A and B are shown apart, each in its own frame.
Chain A
């Protein structure tokens, strides 16, 4: 639990003869940890309800006749506590001896061996002999789902799994069965746990009772390296620690509780990494000959791409070429990608699949954006949250976790405006159902009390509004249902609420926000700088040595339509699959003359390309990404897949080839970090401290854009498209996750 430092009076107490000062309400176990004294525990887990079940944290408190559990006693003024007396040590020793009576000592074959809390505790506090000579209780191992296995004899009944599933996830897939020494954890009997498969239960298990279907019996913890990076899936940007052996990812978790998500990860973050090793990964460049793609050398592929692009550029002009960027490549790659389009080719025909309207939000807030955007931590600490659209449980699991946890820890209130019921409505104080596609109209009503709405809807909106007006510092979170002018209405409403209202737009993919921030947009330069401002263009021209066109380019749907119609001659795609989602999918590339794709797999788009470059995934590269709340985090290379190159490398290679054939300047950055240095200087809002990034924290950007008389931003219908991901999908990545696919099959069966 994060603590807020306020001017409150501190409590003074003595722990092991040391004077300690703690805020009122601090539990003794936390107070002892504050001075670096370990009071051992199994069942105590910060943020979850108290149990006092394991009795490991018994300590001596003066004036108490019996030992007390440090996890339930609140520090009071003048309290005298001892954590290391003979009596306390003795109690711990017996507790562990009791615990081991029914615990199998199968550590050599247990997945948890080497990182087991019980092992560590016995090592530190246990007896050196065993007096138990009776028969242990035996039970067979159970498979609860593709992901979760339960070994009852190893279970020490700390109830962490039950609590994290119930309190943390609001899923309640686990319970406690039987009684006494026969007690076991039991799963929901409906099909395969009937849960969100987040694996939090496995992660939180202090022993090897709950093990993971993807990791069990594969390796020993000490054989792996641990690489902290950022999750490759949704836009929430959870920090994830990859456990890597021989360049291969064996497991993903975040056990050190660092980063914006602490130990939270959803199913994709925890299990969705096996795409890296999928047999269909593209591992070499390919060039089309006739109607087939053939493996080619790097030289051949790069030369073919550069030569043909140069030819089309010379023949048909800069605007005959389109660029579709990615939601999952790094900031550095996105930045270079739009530089390639704008500086090397001279066109603004550059866009990406936009899943929420970040541009709209930044524009609507104008200069105010710098301090009005909500971070994930602020969302957790918000006393009141208004959620408009989106289904965070499925699409933005960390945001949902932050909201639920805030409600649990601080009694936060949740207000929802939606088109239909979503799981979070169980926690909502007010749930207003606007009806299909009526959210913009409802927002207009909230902002200005205008518009024709059904009386029943109005009644709910009045209630919603009254509730929100009684709160202050409201956090507003919204999805793709709100875009363009509707965001302006939302901000107009939000700005009338008491206190400081902050906003978060919920996009879909790992670097959706970074793509928009880096100017992979037809009408905005990096940092959402308006293209029609000469000063903005000149600022980047100075950095790139280019002349950026003032003519806005086409957006993704138009680019794809124009490509299929042959109006665009060449299309360059990086980490995207536009022919599957835009234009007329059945037409494929249509009349497009030349198509270059940087991809991990042969997607519908890559299949019809002329040149395909094998790209590395986010887990195979260094760089930065920006999550949906505008917080920058590091990507660190964990895995390595033979034959692939990062998109950063691919763009560099191409830029050199293009320079050789006489188009533009080659990119001379040696590392992604060098690009990031340029971004920090050139892109407003990105001049963040790098030290926190290097230590695994997130740094919020302070993005803002001067209005300069621009009208409220509006977007054509169809431009902002949520992928409506579920917990088990993030486009191409999860289609090539064997585990994720098997879970979806299970879902379909149930």
Chain B
């Protein structure tokens, strides 16, 4: 088919960008969709031809990703998040308002083709909830009026300005904060290389290249006791030391920027306001393991972030912080920015690699682990944006100094996003081990309207929920684990006393059923069964035996699924049934006891 010159050029670049051609598939599909509004049969055939694939191979990949559409969407594709953080602050009501206002339902398009509507999962704007995206533009802290105004402007052909920066990322520093990786937040043009260089930029890389050996870099990271900030908390230095030294294969570094754990939006401002810090960290990691190529896999929804990161990469290349013979050290390193297209599962490291290879985001059998067999079958380390962004500080100030900020085995600081029912939702960098109760009531400003706190998701919706009596504990990996939950991704969601926990369980299960990749039986069928049952239960059609059944099914998914997504769906569910069983029993009367209260939330 005849492509526009821009798209043809884009395709050419993408086709030649990767070690394996097929890797270009998802970006090609996404950029084609940006131009044509959807993926047509002709585009499938054209891309298949260009990548030497059969059409079915293109289709199986594209059908996996929720951002890719086979039918035309509206000129303005309105995507409203109703996931937990947004739900607590009126996201569901906003969706209802949108349906009425646009006179269309979920995944429908107005007859004039101007608007289409979609209820979406967490878009990483939790601290600015409720939030939506129109095409790639973010609109946060929405109110019914603000929403109407945006729609009116769009309808009139205007271009309402999207949020300039992730809501909640900029705020007066709280006394409890110890800014390390967020220290450049708020500086004007902090994403530009010149500003970065004025603030210690690329000094760590220079030190790593000129004064350190790969081994001493890994040692320093080990000393820092840095643990993975993506959710699992695996010691970073140890992960790096698993990469075999005597291999003839190329090695890769991947930066996991597929931030999509509900309640989490800390990587987004890190890339938006300090992309060079991340680039510097990745390059140092590359040096440490002997990689010559790195990838930044950014979730598809963060398109504007991808553009910022691409700009930063171009700057870094032009100043020789990337490319051949970096700073005269003889070290070559290339960094490629890559986009996903809507799939929570691709945050799982091996699924991300499949996705980066242009395939469906199915997780891989482990062992072998990525450090030995990773991207393209080669040794690969994969770390979260925050983890890699921390590396320059560790190299610069030394691992021990960095570690001294936290508690033993839990070195350093963390970015915590706190959302839901708090007075000051936002992103705060605090030392590991800070007291959770203190954090919620002081740093985050406590619960609005004098309400009582009912429950807390400590680090993303995959974590078991804590009740009000369980939150007086230090926020480090081990203490939260001891309390029966996880520190997870740092996405904290706070619920007040008027929150319906059955509805919360229902909404959480909707997310996991939507995001289950479908690979293994217990997760694929279990999440869907639980979703349907919780829908029915919350709607007032529950049976007494359903309460035990919910818990029983969740417990029998736990530990038996292929990847942790099944556990992630089971754990919060089990904790809710256990801790708020009385609320399930109240629903047996045929109606939700919190219904009226919820309606009030919508008026906020």
Contacts and interface: CB of A to CB of B under 8 A. Distances in A.
Interface stretch (A46-54, A330-338, A548-556): A46-54
A179 B57 CA distance: 15
Contacts of B520: 52-55
A558 interface: no
Given A53-B520, A101-B525, A134-B529, A173 B54 contact: yes
B557 to A, nearest CB: 8
Interface stretch (B208-216, B283-291, B510-518): B510-518
A179 B527 CA distance: 13
Contact of A178 (B55, B63, B521, B528): B63
A101 B528 contact: yes
A55 B522 contact: yes
Nearest to A54: B521
A95 interface: yes
B561 interface: yes
Contact of B60 (A55, A94, A177, A194): A177
B521 A179 contact: no
A98 B549 CA distance: 13
Interface string A59-85: 000000011000010000000000000
A53 B525 contact: no
Contacts of A58: 560
A729 B59 CA distance: 32
A58 B561 CA distance: 10
Interface in B515-546: 515-522, 524-529, 532-533, 536
Interface stretch (A184-192, A454-462, A561-569): A184-192
Given A51-B365, A66-B559, A180-B515, 19 more contacts: A52-B562, A54-B520, A55-B561, A94-B560, A99-B521, A99-B525, A101-B525, A101-B529, A102-B528, A131-B549, A137-B528, A173-B56, A174-B56, A175-B59, A177-B59, A178-B64, A180-B513, A181-B518, A188-B54
A555 B157 CA distance: 85
A175 B516 CA distance: 18
A67 B559 CA distance: 8
17 contacts: A53-B519, A55-B520, A55-B522, A94-B522, A95-B521, A98-B529, A134-B536, A135-B532, A157-B521, A175-B57, A175-B60, A178-B63, A179-B343, A179-B518, A180-B515, A183-B518, A188-B56
B556 interface: yes
A172 interface: yes
Contacts of B553: 94
B516 A176 contact: no
A132 interface: yes
Q: Is the interface of B mostly helix, strand, loop or mixed?
A: helix
B77 interface: no
A67 B522 CA distance: 14
Contacts of A156: 521
A182 interface: yes
Contacts of A39: none
A90 interface: yes
Nearest to B549: A131
A187 B56 contact: yes
A506 to B, nearest CB: 28
B360 interface: yes
- Category for how many chain A residues contact B: 35 or more
B360 A176 contact: yes
Q: Is the interface of A mostly helix, strand, loop or mixed?
A: loop
Contacts of A56: 521
Enumerate the 8 nearest inter-chain pairs by beta-carbon distance, A residue then B residue, closest first: A175-B60, A183-B518, A98-B525, A134-B532, A181-B528, A180-B516, A188-B56, A94-B556
A306 interface: no
B63 A91 contact: no
Interface string A96-139: 00110110000000000000000000000000000110110100
B59 to A, nearest CB: 6
A180 B518 contact: yes
A506 B517 CA distance: 45
Given A55-B562, A179-B63, A90 B556 contact: yes
Contact of A98 (B55, B60, B521): B521
B397 interface: no
B57 A180 contact: no
A190 B524 CA distance: 29
Given A102-B528, A175-B57, A157 B518 contact: yes
Given A132-B529, A172-B57, A180 B561 contact: no
B41 interface: yes
B560 A67 contact: yes
Interface string B558-576: 0111100000000000000
B69 to A, nearest CB: 13
A132 B360 CA distance: 29
A179 B549 CA distance: 25
Contacts of B528: 101-102, 137, 180-181
Contact of A134 (B59, B526, B533, B560): B533
Contacts of A91: 556, 560
A189 B55 CA distance: 7
Contact of B524 (A50, A183, A186, A188): A183
A112 to B, nearest CB: 18
Nearest to A190: B55
Contacts of B41: 189
- Central interface residue in A53, A177, A180, A189, by most chain B CB within 10 Å: A180
- Central interface residue in A95, A98, A101, A194, by most chain B CB within 10 Å: A98
A368 to B, nearest CB: 41
Nearest to A96: B521
A102 B365 CA distance: 26
B533 A181 contact: no
Contacts of B343: 179
Nearest to A74: B367
B342 to A, nearest CB: 10
B526 A98 contact: yes
Interface string B52-74: 00111101100110100000000
- Central interface residue in B66, B343, B518, B526, by most chain A CB within 10 Å: B518
Contacts of A187: 56
A132 B533 CA distance: 9
Contacts of B522: 55, 94-95, 98
A99 B57 CA distance: 26
Nearest to B556: A94
A178 B513 CA distance: 13
Interface in A314-356: none
Contacts of A54: 520-521
A132 B562 CA distance: 23
Contacts of B562: 52-53, 55
Nearest to A158: B521
B456 to A, nearest CB: 27
Contacts of A101: 525, 528-529
A157 to B, nearest CB: 7
Contacts of B514: 180
A99 B556 CA distance: 13
B59 A189 contact: yes
Contact of B527 (A72, A132, A180): A180
Nearest to A65: B559
Given A53-B520, A102-B528, A177-B63, A186 B536 contact: no
Nearest to A194: B54
B560 to A, nearest CB: 6
Interface string B351-379: 00000000010000100000000000000
Given A102-B528, A186-B63, A179 B56 contact: no
A31 to B, nearest CB: 18
B519 to A, nearest CB: 5
Nearest to B63: A177
A191 to B, nearest CB: 11
A7 B64 CA distance: 48
A173 B524 CA distance: 24
A530 to B, nearest CB: 53
A50 B63 contact: no
Interface in B467-494: none
